[in-house]
Copies of this chain bind each other. A is one copy, B any other.
Amino acid sequence: MAHKFINEINPGETIDDIYMVTDPILRSTTRGDLYIAMYLSDRTGRLNGRMWQATEAVYNSLPKPGFVHIQGRSELYANNLQIVVNNVSVIDASKVNLDDFLARTDKDTDQMFEEVKKIVGQIKNPQLKALVGQFLADTELMEKFCKAPAAMKLHHSFLGGLLEHTHSMLRVAVAILPLYPQVQPDLVLAAIFLHDIGKTEELTYDMAFSYTDSGQLLGHITQTLLMINKKADALAAKGTPIDKSILDTLGHIILSHHGQYEFGSPKLPATPEAFMVYYIDDLDAKINQVTAAIDSETGDSNWTGWKNALQTKLYKKRIE
């Protein structure tokens, strides 16, 4: 049975479907009865839910957040649609069709990943090749790499976003590296492939996009560096260590790829390769962010609303 999307619900309908519950709160009415206020959502929107005559046991059973099967009814209250919940039961995330709850790249994930592998396959330096191979061989990690978003909000914030962003950056690099012969392609390609790999540990994206504790405490830049060093340790344990100077040069590109201290880079770019990765990353992220913002505001105006991260409105009108 197809999922009934939040933005398709009319007042007065019977509800019998799976939704994500967030921020449930147990409250007492002014008469002392307990009830649960909660949000019910999928990727199309969010409604208030109310379960009257609730018990503390029901409240305690609820995931915070998580998936629940809801039986109840929609109604208009003070001009807003809400769902009166009669019955609620917890659903394991594995039984849920995640696509109903999280936005997803509209590109072909498999094809992008094949192209990524093909591009990093061009790396000639045997040590960087081995290091990249170590990551590609980690199938569990590669699955996360293909599934993670590239960011919480600003750009490529959808499932597969990390892969789409990395794939796009690699294609830009392949296109412009021949124009800058002084820049070492192996370093650029390996660094782009790995630059945000720590996002797989910084973010969770099984039900909604949020930060892990580790991600919040360390940040993906540091997490990426730790992951690279673990893979290098594994290679060394196999008897094929990576030169410290290569590892540090690669690590430097990771540390400096936000380009400025204020954006969480503990080092400023100090090699041509670090500058190139920084600019390709910023270019790809901003073009995605700007075109997505323009596409999402469909009104008549020539301008989008104010974009705080860019400190401007965006102009939507095209020439011709």
Using CB atoms and an 8 Å cutoff, list the residues of chain A in contact with chain B: 10-12, 30-31, 64, 76, 78-79, 81, 125, 128, 168, 171-172, 175-176, 179-180, 182-184, 186-187, 213-214, 216-219, 221-222, 225-226, 229-230, 233, 243-246, 248-249, 251-252, 255, 261-272, 275-276, 279-280, 282-283, 286-287, 290-291, 294, 300-303, 310-315, 317-320
Q: A172 — nearest CB in chain B belongs to which residue?
A: B176
Rounded to whole angstroms, the CA-CA distance of A186 and B320 in the bound complex is 10
Q: Is the CB of B315 within 8 A of A182?
A: no
Q: Is the CB of A275 within 8 A of B283?
A: yes
Q: Is the CB of A268 within 8 A of B312?
A: yes
Q: Is the CB of A219 within 8 A of B267?
A: yes
Q: Is the CB of B261 within 8 A of A213?
A: no
Rounded to whole angstroms, the CA-CA distance of A78 and B77 in the bound complex is 11
Q: Is the CB of B267 within 8 A of A275?
A: no
Q: Can you spell out 17 A-B residue pairs with CB atoms less than 8 angstroms apart?
A: A10-B30, A30-B76, A168-B179, A172-B179, A175-B175, A213-B248, A216-B303, A226-B226, A226-B229, A249-B315, A249-B319, A252-B315, A267-B312, A271-B314, A271-B315, A272-B290, A283-B283
Stoichiometry, copies per complex: 6
Q: Is the CB of B218 within 8 A of A255?
A: yes
Q: Is the CB of A217 within 8 A of B267?
A: yes
Rounded to whole angstroms, the CA-CA distance of A187 and B279 in the bound complex is 21
Q: A183 — nearest CB in chain B belongs to which residue?
A: B287
A313 touches which of B168, B270, B300 (Cβ 8 Å): B270
- Of A12, A276, A314, A315, chain B has the most CB atoms within 10 Å of the CB of A315
- Of A214, A275, A280, chain B has the most CB atoms within 10 Å of the CB of A275
Q: A9 — nearest CB in chain B belongs to which residue?
A: B30
Chain B residues whose C-beta falls within 8 Å of the C-beta of A81 in the assembled complex: 30
Q: Is the CB of B10 within 8 A of A187?
A: no
Tell me whether A78 and B76 are in contact in the complex, defined as CB-CB below 8 angstroms, given that A219-B267, A264-B267 are known contacts.
no
A276 nearest CB across to chain B (Å):
7
Q: Is the CB of A213 within 8 A of B268?
A: no
Q: Is the CB of B251 within 8 A of A217?
A: yes
Chain B residues whose C-beta falls within 8 Å of the C-beta of A251 in the assembled complex: 217-218, 222
Q: Is the CB of A279 within 8 A of B270?
A: no
A300 touches which of B64, B76, B176, B314 (Cβ 8 Å): B64
Q: Is the CB of A291 within 8 A of B175?
A: no
Q: Is the CB of A214 within 8 A of B168?
A: no
4 tightest A-B contacts by CB?
A175-B175, A217-B252, A279-B283, A182-B291
Chain B residues whose C-beta falls within 8 Å of the C-beta of A30 in the assembled complex: 10-12, 76, 81
